[in-house]
């Protein structure tokens, strides 16, 4: 196959072109929807990150501001106080790629300086015009995600006239803007933003039509782990009872073209994606 742009993100001992990468969610926050407060202490966060590494994660995504529906923003200083010690410790202790989950250029700049190699921007470059250039300065990977409004307001009656047309159009425009700002095309991923300004039916349609997102021409990252649409399908199951639904949605996403899945539960999803990759001939 042609060169895999994600090969450089894979741990040296697991560099297999074309395989699915598993990104571990590390929320250093008091209020994330599923695990808020569990890893607010830096030492606890680092221990959890290293545990995810042991379970087979390829990327660790460290975030210091909740983006759950209704979440309020925090200052850049507060965000940096939460995440920078964790990023620095994990970059030193692990050979995994560290991602910084932020939309603020100032936070991204410091995290990249301390060893992060990816910026995961849930705003899709809408909130900080300097973010793409900041990623370009360090030749970092950049995830451009589709979202509308802000986390505080995004679930207030989301509406689309043409869901796939609007999502794909946004991702094309913002990825092009990132390239203009200096980010190499091979360093850009796109994320349709499951749960960010989407209804249950919007989420399901995006997952069904994920090949259309992949056709944009950038590797696709999907984040469905423990999200509320899975809970609704499973008779209002709480977040900790959504594992089977999460695995199902991730395997179907991989079959439909996702290259990276962002999850809380590493070990079972690693096993599921290994089998999916084998069936799809990616092994």
CATH of the domain at 67: 3.20.20.20
Residue at 116 is within a domain: yes
Residue at 14 is within a domain: no
pLDDT band at 37 (very low <50, low <70, confident <90, very high): low
Residue at 44 is within a domain: yes
3-state helix, strand, coil in the chain (%, to 5): 45, 15, 40
The stretch 39-56 carries a mean pLDDT of: 94
Q: Just list the catalytic residues.
A: 227, 262
Residue 188: domain span: 20-279
User: What total of structural domains would you count in the chain?
Assistant: 1
Q: E-strand spans in the chain?
A: 21-27, 59-63, 97-101, 118-121, 141-145, 188-191, 220-222, 258-263
Residue at 173 is within a domain: yes
Q: Which of 193, 197, 211 is nearest to 253 (CA)?
A: 211
**Tens digits of residue pLDDT in 243-272:** 999 999 999 999 999 999 999 999 999 999
Residue at 3 is within a domain: no
Structure pTM?
0.94
Q: Cα separation of 245 and 226, whole Å?
A: 8
Question: Which pLDDT value is given to residue 157?
Answer: 75
Torsion, CA 121, CA 123, CA 125, CA 128, rounded to 10: -100
Residue at 69 is within a domain: yes
The stretch 187-202 carries a mean pLDDT of: 96
Asked whether the beta carbons of 100 and 120 are under 8 A apart, the reply is: yes
Q: Cα separation of 16 and 277, whole Å?
A: 11
Residue at 215 is within a domain: yes
Q: Cα separation of 220 and 92, whole Å?
A: 28
The percentage of the chain sitting over the pLDDT mark of 90, rounded to a whole number, equals 87
Residues 6+ apart with CB under 8 A from 211: 256, 257
């Amino acid at each position: 196959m042609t060169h895999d742009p994600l090969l450089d993100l894979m741990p040296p001992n697991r560099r297999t072109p074309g395989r699915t990468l598993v990104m571990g969610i590390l929320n250093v926050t008091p209020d994330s929807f599923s695990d808020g407060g569990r890893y607010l202490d830096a030492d606890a966060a680092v221990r959890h990150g290293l545990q995810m590494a042991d379970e087979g994660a390829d990327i660790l995504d460290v975030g210091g501001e909740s983006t759950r529906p209704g979440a309020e923003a925090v200052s850049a200083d507060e965000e940096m106080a939460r995440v920078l010690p964790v990023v620095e410790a994990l970059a030193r202790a692990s050979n995994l790629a560290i991602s910084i989950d932020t939309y603020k250029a100032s936070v991204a700049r410091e995290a990249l300086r301390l060893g992060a190699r990816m910026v995961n921007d849930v705003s899709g470059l809408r909130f900080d015009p300097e973010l793409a250039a900041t990623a370009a300065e360090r030749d970092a990977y950049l995830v451009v995600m589709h979202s509308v409004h802000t986390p505080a307001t995004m679930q207030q009656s989301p509406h689309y006239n043409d869901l796939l047309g609007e999502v794909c159009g946004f991702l094309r425009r913002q990825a092009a803007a990132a390239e203009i700002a200096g980010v190499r095309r091979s360093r850009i991923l796109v994320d349709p933003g499951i749960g960010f300004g989407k209804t249950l039916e919007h989420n399901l349609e995006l997952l069904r039509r994920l090949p259309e997102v992949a056709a944009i021409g950038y590797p696709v990252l999907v984040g469905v782990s423990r999200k509320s649409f899975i809970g609704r399908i499973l008779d209002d199951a709480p977040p900790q009872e959504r594992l089977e639904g999460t695995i199902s949605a991730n395997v179907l996403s991989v079959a439909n073209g996702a290259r990276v899945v962002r999850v809380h539960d590493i070990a079972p999803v690693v096993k599921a994606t290994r089998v999916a990759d084998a069936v799809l001939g990616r092994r």
